[in-house]
Amino acid sequence: MTPALYNPMGTTALVTGASSGLGVGFAHELARRGADLVLTARRLDRLEALAVDLAEKYGTVSTVIPLDLAAPGAVAELMRDLTDRDIRVSTLVNNAGFALFGSVVDAPADRVHDQVTVNVTALTELSHALLPGLQAAALAHPHGAALVNLASTAAFQPVPQLAVYAASKAYVLSLTEALWYETRGTGLKVTAVCPGPTETEFYAVARRSPGGPRRLMSVDEVMQAAFAALDAARTPPHVVAGTGNRITAWLAGSAPRRAVVTVTGRLSRR
């Protein structure tokens, strides 16, 4: 078995959107590897329950910070809180995000705004604010610092009925790959994780069902792909979870854009 190269033991990791789904998965795996956690999301009760669970299973110390990243000044507030608590973050997992299903013209303006704010603006601001500290941590703790941004297989093509979500994830993928290049040689592990449909609250928030016979990935399967990338000697700029998803992403990048959006449009109407 190849030894794990990503070892955050003795460091602190910040996970956004930590109250459910993939955020919980990241929190558990980081705690299992010996990291203390900063857990942030809107739902305080779930964060507190997760903190207790992590402490009981792994002896992890978790700092719970309830926060709505769609609120004005949320990232600045979070950074002040970290400074006041003298918390130095070595790993950042930008997991928070959500989708709205339906035509853009029919979407409530405030929800479109919040979606872009959480998926794009907050992720960018938090990455920018913490990046100097992450790079310093990579020097102090070789193989123990990382920046993980949650993209999606939707990032590889336009998706009618999920237009803003897919566009936001395309941005996340592009930004993360550029940061991967810019941070080469610093020791910081940077990657965008691109899961396909997964067993989380995603579809409930988007107000649609997964549809069709396609099997949803489990959170554990996505975690295996994400941490395999972090454990690699050369962490890739992005990782697509699942063989079928990797093939689909490759096909989307190889086919003419008009054909791709026509296919995704027809599939989304189902």
- Order the strands of the 91-94 sheet from edge to edge: 62-66, 36-41, 12-16, 91-94, 146-150, 189-194, 238-240
Catalytic residue among 58, 165, 171, 203: 165
Round to whole Å and give the CA distance between 130 and 160: 34
Round to whole Å and give the CA distance between 16 and 69: 9
Q: In the numeric block, which tokens belong to residue 210? A: 């997964």
Residues in CB range of 120: below 8 A, 6 or more apart: 168, 171, 172
Q: Is the dihedral of CA 95, 101, 105, 111 positive or negative?
A: negative
165 included as an active-site residue: yes
Round to whole Å and give the CA distance between 165 and 100: 7
Catalytic positions are 165
